[in-house]
Amino acid sequence: MPLSTFPESIMPTPHADSSAISTQDRYSRQILFPGIGISGQQALAAAHVAIIGCGATGAAAAALLARAGVGSLTLIDRDFVEPSNLQRQILFDEADALQSLPKAEAARRKIALFNSAISVHPHVADLVPANIHQLLAPAHLILDATDNFETRYLLNDYAVQQAKPWIYAAAIGAYAASMNILPKTNQTDSVPAPTSFAPTACLACIFPKPPSGPVETCDTAGILSTAVNLAASIQVTEALKFLTGQSQLMRRTLLSFDLWASEPNGSLNRSEINTSTPDPSCSVCGQNLFTHLAGEGRPHITLCGRNSVQIHEHHRPVDFAAMQNRLAPHGNVRFNDLLLRFDRPPHTISLFRDGRAIIQGTTDVTLARSLYARFIGS
């Protein structure tokens, strides 16, 4: 069967009749928990959370929030499912990997199978300065599940500028970390009431600049699914506190664990850095200099876990059928409604509807741009 048709992947996801399962039945054990109760469950149903990245951490966080009954989820991810994802990315299966289904859409379909009562808004896109306001405006809270610091600093700029809380999370090897960022707010309706909280340090307060030099990724250091799920569980627990109006209970530290190592006394290897007070000299929350939001010096991003470069300069609609005819003489082409893949060993070009592309088989930006220009067009 030619992959260009992808009949299974483009069929709409069947939805169960969510009215057949009552809210009381679905969330009964959560409502019994004193920290949630009936009023907390109602607050969750009215909440809107955006998750940036639907890989390992994002998939776990999305599943937890959906099962908890958060009423609306915005899922943003630029990537597609691959076989190597199945070890840790809990919302995806082998069919998703074989079809190279975009992660945001694959996550939406899986969530619909276990909670069709909530609204999930998938966006197959890279979060960049040009679209961040549009994509994140509806959200009361933002969860970070990205694989690069460039996007995190962009998110931090946006959150501080818009006074919108966000929660950082990271996992690599056996390491897991999380940090709550509560910016100064004018008590607008951009966040759910009650929202009375003292602001915390922002990301730039703790890390004024992105890491320099080589940075470990899941491709170089590997990753344990247990570390991913711990990071997501801590992140989502903090989100539930915020969404139910209990921000005073939220942790005010950068918390990290090494699940593989232990202290000499046998205790878990963990650390905490105090983040309770913003740095008055911080360029972002202290001086309101939003350089990442302005797009200054934004580089191409080499993706975690893959020898590849993303090209995201060309925002124009792509006719996949016409592109297939154009590329077929030069290599193997297959596409579905969301993604076209062009294989010309040793490189593969994965092209999205908006003209964005992931060039696999190189980390050389110049070569990646050359391949894009040659086969897709400048």
CATH number at 206 reads 3.40.50.720
Residue 329 is part of which domain span? 308-375
Q: What is the DSSP string of 242-275?
A: HHTT-GGGS--EEEEEEEEEE-TTS-EEEEEEE-
Token code pair at residue 279 = 């740095």
In a shared domain, residues 270 and 322: no
Token code pair at residue 277 = 């007070």
In a shared domain, residues 263 and 335: no
Q: Where is mean pLDDT largest: 26-35, 179-188, 210-219, 311-320?
A: 26-35
In a shared domain, residues 315 and 258: no
Contact in structure between 315 and 354 (CB atoms under 8 Å):
yes
Residue 93 lies in a domain: yes
**What total of structural domains would you count in the chain?**
2
Largest CA distance in the chain: 65
In a shared domain, residues 126 and 247: yes
Q: What is the DSSP string of 151-217?
A: HHHHHHHHHHHHT--EEEEEEEBTEEEEEEE-------TTSPSP--------HHHH-SS---S----
In a shared domain, residues 268 and 122: yes
In a shared domain, residues 221 and 326: no
Instruction: Give me the pLDDT at residue 9, please.
Output: 37
Residue 3 lies in a domain: no
In a shared domain, residues 104 and 240: yes
The answer, yes or no, to whether residue 5 has pLDDT greater than 60, is: no
β-pairing, 72-77 vs 48-52, is parallel
The answer, yes or no, to whether residue 107 has pLDDT greater than 90, is: yes
C-alpha distances (whole Å) from 170 to each of 134, 175, 269 are: 25, 8, 16
Tell me the pLDDT tens digit for each residue of 225-283: 999 999 999 999 999 999 999 999 999 999 999 999 888 888 888 999 999 999 999 99
Instruction: Give me the pLDDT at residue 217, please.
Output: 74
Q: Considering only residues 219 and 138, tell me which one the structure prediction assigns the higher pLDDT.
A: 138
Q: What percent of the chain has pLDDT over 70?
A: 87
In a shared domain, residues 252 and 319: no
The answer, yes or no, to whether residue 8 has pLDDT greater than 50, is: no
Instruction: Give me the pLDDT at residue 197, please.
Output: 76
Residue 250 lies in a domain: yes
Contact in structure between 141 and 71 (CB atoms under 8 Å):
no
The answer, yes or no, to whether residue 219 has pLDDT greater than 70, is: no
Residue 240 lies in a domain: yes
For residue 7, what is the DSSP state?
T
Phi/psi at 79 (5° precision): -110, 180
Instruction: Give me the pLDDT at residue 11, please.
Output: 41
Q: What is the mean pLDDT of the chain?
A: 88
The answer, yes or no, to whether residue 326 has pLDDT greater than 60, is: yes
β-pairing, 357-360 vs 308-311, is antiparallel
Model confidence band, residue 18 (pLDDT cutoffs 50, 70, 90): low
User: Which of 253, 274, 295 is the C-terminal boundary of a domain?
Assistant: 274
In a shared domain, residues 321 and 227: no
Instruction: Give me the pLDDT at residue 15, please.
Output: 54
For residue 319, what is the DSSP state?
-
User: Which of 274, 298, 316 is the C-terminal boundary of a domain?
Assistant: 274
In a shared domain, residues 237 and 316: no
Tell me the pLDDT tens digit for each residue of 163-207: 999 999 999 999 999 999 999 875 444 444 445 678 999 999 999
Q: Considering only residues 267 and 41, tell me which one the structure prediction assigns the higher pLDDT.
A: 41
Token code pair at residue 4 = 């260009």
Tell me the pLDDT tens digit for each residue of 136-164: 999 999 999 998 888 999 999 999 999 99
Residue 35 lies in a domain: yes
Residue burial 121-131, b: 16+ Cβ < 10 Å; e: rest: bbbbbbbbbee
Residue 280 lies in a domain: no
Residue 6 lies in a domain: no
Tell me the pLDDT tens digit for each residue of 60-100: 999 999 999 999 999 999 889 999 899 999 999 999 999 98
The answer, yes or no, to whether residue 7 has pLDDT greater than 50, is: no
Token code pair at residue 131 = 């679209």
In a shared domain, residues 218 and 344: no
The answer, yes or no, to whether residue 2 has pLDDT greater than 50, is: no
In a shared domain, residues 63 and 189: yes
Q: What percent of the chain has pLDDT over 90?
A: 67
Looking at residue 317, which CATH number applies to its domain?
3.30.310
Residue 131 lies in a domain: yes
Strand arrangement of the beta sheet that strand 141-144 belongs to: 119-124, 72-77, 48-52, 141-144, 166-172, 175-181, 253-262, 268-274
Dist. CA 348–CA 43, nearest whole Å? 45
